[in-house]
Amino acid sequence: MTTKHVVRAALSACAVLALCTTTAGAAAMAAPAPSVLRVQAQGDLNDPAKKEIAMELVSSAENSSLDWKAQYSYIEDIGDGRGYTAGIIGFCSGTGDMLELVQAYTDSEPDNVLAKYLPALKKVNGSDSHAGLGSAFVNDWKTAAKDSAFQTAQNNERDRVYFNPAVNQGKSDGLGALGQFIYYDAIVMHGPGDDGTSFGGIRKTALKKAKTPAQGGDETTYLNAFLDARKAAMKTEEAHSDTSRVDTEQRVFLNAGNLALNPPLRWKVYGDPYSIG
C-alpha cells in the first residue's frame, strides 16, 4: 500500500464496516429470477478470470498496483481513527473485521502467531488504540501473511463480507460482469449497509432514477444512475473525494459498452494509467 493513496482510498472496507452489522441487507433486496438470463449473456464475476480482473481493478485504486496478492502482508495505521489497516481488503483493528479475520484464521490454525492477540483485538475494537498490539503485532502479521492458511482466511472474509453479496445482488438486478464489479467496488469503499452513503443507500438512490434490467430497465442507464449516486456519496467524505475510480475507470468501461468486462481494459486511477490484456 503506498502512502500516496491511503488517505484518498483509506482502504474503506474497514472504514465503514463498523456501521454495517450484516451483509444480509443487500441480499434481501434481491429481485426475481428473470435476471439470470441477462447475467449469462453479459458475464459472471464469479468466473475465475473475471474475479481476478475485479481484484486487480480494486487493487489499482486501493494499493496503486495490480498485484493484489502482495497486500496480504500490508499493515499500518493510516491515521484515520480506526487503528491498524491491513491485508488485501483493508481489515481494521478498530472496526471488528480484523478481529473476525484473526478469529477465523485461529479456528482453522489454532497455533498461529496471531492467536495470542485475540484478547487485545477484542479490547481495541471500536477505537484507534494499539494497546496490546504494537510493533510485535505488526511483525507477526507480516509473518502470518506468508502462511497459506492466513491468505485463505483473508480471501474467505473478503468473499463473505464484500464480494459474494455484491455479485449476488448484481445478478438479482440483472447486471452483467461490469455491473457486478461496480457493486463490488462500491461495497469495498462504502460498506454493505443501508444508510445514505453505504452500498444499500447508494443503490436505493439509483433506483429512484432508473430501473434495473431485472425490472425491465436499460442496463447502461441504470449503471450510470448508480455511478452518479456513488459519486455523490463519495463527495461527502474527504477521504473519498477523488472520484477517478468512477470517472476514469468504471465509467470508461461503461461508455465503451463493455458490460461483460472483457479485456483488454485500459483505465486510470488518481491519474496513474493501468491496463489488463
The answer to whether the Cα torsion of 171, 175, 177, 182 is positive or negative is: negative
Q: For 60-85, write each residue's pLDDT tens digit.
A: 998 899 999 999 999 999 887 889 99
- 192-238 tens-digit pLDDT: 888 999 999 999 999 999 999 999 999 999 999 999 999 999 999 87
pTM equals 0.83
- State the Cα–Cα distance between residues 222 and 61, nearest whole angstrom: 23
**Residue 24 pLDDT more than 50?**
no
Q: Which pLDDT band, with edges at 50, 70 and 90, does 143 fall under?
A: very high
**Residue-level pLDDT at 35:** 40
Which residues, listed in sequence order, are joined to residue 86 by a DSSP beta bridge?
75, 91
Q: What are phi and psi of 215, to 5 degrees?
A: -95, 5
R_g of the chain, CA atoms, integer Å: 18
Higher-confidence residue of 137 and 96: namely 137
Give the domain ranges of the chain. 3-276
Question: What positions carry a catalytic annotation?
Answer: 62, 80
Cα of first residue to Cα of last residue in the chain, in angstroms, is 23
Query: Facing residues of 75 across strands?
Result: 86
CA angle 162, 168, 174 (to 5 degrees): 135
- Four-point Cα dihedral 53, 56, 58, 60, nearest 10: -140
Model confidence at 14, pLDDT cuts 50, 70, 90, reads low
Give the model's confidence band at 1: pLDDT under 50 very low, under 70 low, under 90 confident, else very high: very low
d(CA 67, CA 55): 9
Are 206 and 225 a contacting pair, CB within 8 Å?
A: yes
Q: Per residue in 98-119, pLDDT tens?
A: 999 999 999 999 999 999 999 9
Q: How would you classify residue 126: left for phi > 0, otherwise alpha for psi between -120 and 50, otherwise beta?
A: left
| Side-chain-side CA neighbours of residue 207 (13 Å) | 14
Specify the residue for cell string 474475479. Answer: 51
Per-residue pLDDT averaged across 26-31, rounded? 41
Q: Which residue has the cell 441477462?
A: 38
* Mean pLDDT value across residues 27-45: 52
If you ran DSSP here, which 8-state letter would residue 264 be given?
Answer: P
Q: Can you tell me whether residue 75 is helix, strand or coil?
A: strand
Helices 199-207 and 177-190 pack at an angle, to 10 degrees, of 130
Confidence of residue 42 (pLDDT cuts 50, 70, 90): confident
Choose which CATH entry (1.20.141.10, 1.10.600.10, 3.30.465.10, 3.40.50.300) describes domain 3-276. Answer: 1.20.141.10
What cell does 105 get? 484464521
Q: Is the peptide bond before 165 cis (omega within 30 degrees of 0)?
A: no
Q: Higher confidence at residue 220 or residue 96?
A: 220
pLDDT of 2 reads 42
